[in-house]
A and B are shown apart, each in its own frame.
Chain A
C-alpha cells in the first residue's frame, strides 16, 4: 500500500512540475499581449476577439493564479480551445492519443520480441563469437538515430518496394498494422540493443545461480532451463528499464510521426508549436506527462507480480 501511495504522490508531482514548467515558460518569453498577438495572426483580430482570448487565457491574473485556473479546468477535463483548429483541445487529444500510445506499444513489442531471444542466446553463449557478433551489432544499432533509420526504411520499403504506405492516412486506425510496422520498427531498433545488453548481463548472473545448476543436474533440457527457470528472475531490470524508456519512447514518437505523417500527439504538438497555439502545447505536455507516469505505474505493478520477493518486502514496509 505504501508503495502505491508513494507512486501516486510522484504522479502528482511530475504532472504539476511538467505543466507548471511549460506554462510559466510561455509567459517568461512573451508578455500577455505578445501571446495574444501570436494567436491572432492565425485569424482576423477585432478588439472583441482580443478580449475573448484574454478572458479565455485569464491573462489579467498573475501567473500563479492563472496557472491555478488552468489546472482547475484541466482537472475537470477542460483543456481549453485550440485557436488554430477551432475545436476543444481535449477533443483533438482524444482522437490522437490512442494512435501515439499504439505506436509506443508496438515499438516496445517489436523491441522485446527481438531483444529477449537475442539476449538469452548471448548470455547462454557468453564470450563466444555469437555473443560478440550480437554485441557488435547492438553497438552499431545504438549509433543509428531513429529518424535516420525511419528515413531509410521509408525509402526502401515504402517508396522503392511499395510494401508499406510511405505516409499514413489521416484517419489512421490503431489496428492498421501495415501502416504501423515501419514507424514502430524505427523506434524499436535502438531499444533492442539496450534491452538485449541488459538481459544478457542479468542472465549471465542468473545462470551462475545454484538453482540453475540443480536444474541442469536433474537433466532438464537447455531450452527449458533458459526459458522456464532463468528468464523470469533475469528480467527484472529489463522490466524496470521498459518503464523508464517509456519517456524516451514517447519523445521519439514525435519525430517518427512527423516523418510518416501520422496523425498523433507528436504532429499535433509540432503543429501547435509553429502556430503559437499555447493551450494545445500545454495540453499535450500535460497528457504526455500523465501517460508517462501511468505507464510507469503499471510497470511497477508488473514488477511486483514478476518477483514475489518484492511484493512481500513492500507489503512488510
Chain B
C-alpha cells in the first residue's frame, strides 16, 4: 500500500516481495470479492474517460470558454456535473483532462521504472555477489532519501529560466522516475533471487542454456506478473507525487491543469466554492484507493500461480 507521501515504505516492499515469492501453503480466498470489482470498474472508468476525452460529447475541450449562462463558481447542476469554476469553466471536463495528464505522466514513469528497474533488479538478483551488494546498497539509499526533495531540485533546475519555473511533461516524468525505478528494481531483484534457485532454472542450466537465455525464457516470464501487480501501487504513488509538485506550482500548465493543480487552485477560494476542491480530491482519492486495492489483491493472488505449478 502506498503512504500518502510519494514514497514507498519498507513494509509495502517487503510485503510485495513476500507475496511474490512465497509458496502457496496458506489457503487463498476463492473469487475476487465485490471490492475488487468496484475498484476495477472505477479504474476502467477513469482510464476510459482519460483516453477518450477528445471525442466525448459531454467533455468540453481544455481551452473552452466558460458557460456564461450560469453563475461563476456555481455548484453541481444537470449541465455541469461537478459545477463550474470562477470563470464558468466546466469542472467535470477539467477533472477529465487533468486526469488524462496525471495518468499519462504516471504511466510513463512506471514504464521507465519497469524497464530500467526491471533490468537492474534482474541483473543484481541473477548475478548476486558483489554486483548485488552494490546495487542493493544504492537502491536502499534511493528508497530512503526524500525523493520529493530531489524531484523538486530536478524540476527546478531543468525548468527554471530565472523568472519562473515552467516544467514540461518530459521534465516532470524524468524527475519522478526515481520514485519508480528504485522500488521496482528492489522487487525484481527479490523475485529473481528466489526464482534463480528453482528446479526449472537448474534444469535449464544443466541442459546447457546460456545465462541470457535463462534470464529471458525462464526468469522473465515469472518476474513480470509480480512486477505488474506492484506497478499499480507505484502508479498511485506517482499520481500523488505529481499532485505534490503541482501543489508547489511545479506542474505542467498545458494542455490542462492536473488533479493536484485543480485542488491547489480550488483551495484558495474554498469558503465560496468548496466543490472546486471536493470533486478533484474525491476523484483522486477513489483512483488511488482503487489502484492500491487492485494491486494488493493481485499481489495476494500471485502465489496462486505458484501453487498450480
Interfacial residues, chain A to chain B (CB-CB below 8 A): 10, 13-14, 17-18, 21-22, 25-26, 28-30, 37-39, 41, 139-149, 151-152, 154-155, 159-160, 189-191, 193-194, 197-198, 237, 240-241, 244-245, 247-252, 254-255, 258-259, 269-270, 273-274, 276, 281, 284-285, 288-289, 292, 296
Contacts and interface: CB of A to CB of B under 8 A. Distances in A.
A244 B2 CA distance: 14
Contacts of B158: 25, 29
Interface in B59-109: none
Nearest to A18: B145
Contacts, number: 177
B117 to A, nearest CB: 18
Residue with the greatest number of chain A CB neighbours at <10 A, chosen from B2, B3, B158, B274: B3
Given A189-B4, A281-B153, 9 more contacts: A10-B141, A18-B150, A22-B157, A26-B157, A148-B4, A248-B5, A251-B147, A252-B5, A292-B145
Residue with the greatest number of chain A CB neighbours at <10 A, chosen from B162, B165, B271: B162
Contacts of A274: 156, 160, 164-165, 249
Q: Describe B's contact surface by its main secondary structure.
A: helix
Interface string B221-254: 0000000000000001000100110011110000
B114 interface: no
Residue with the greatest number of chain A CB neighbours at <10 A, chosen from B147, B154, B240, B243: B240
A159 to B, nearest CB: 7
B157 A145 contact: no
Contacts of B285: 143-144, 148
Given A22-B150, A273-B165, A151 B248 contact: no
Contacts of B17: none
Contact of B4 (A14, A190, A250): A190
A176 B225 CA distance: 50
Contacts of A160: 271
B277 interface: yes
Given A198-B11, A254-B248, A148 B284 contact: yes
Nearest to A146: B4
5 tightest Cβ-Cβ pairs between the two chains A and B: A251-B146, A273-B156, A190-B4, A38-B162, A251-B148
B293 A139 contact: yes
Contact of B243 (A30, A145, A197): A145
Given A21-B150, A254-B148, A14 B141 contact: yes
A146 B236 CA distance: 14
Nearest to A147: B247
Residue with the greatest number of chain A CB neighbours at <10 A, chosen from B11, B160, B271: B11
Contacts of B25: none
Contacts of B281: 148, 151-152
B267 A190 contact: no
Contacts of B260: 147
Given A38-B160, A142-B1, A251-B149, A148 B263 contact: yes
A148 B263 CA distance: 8
B3 A191 contact: yes
Interface string B278-301: 000100110011001100000000
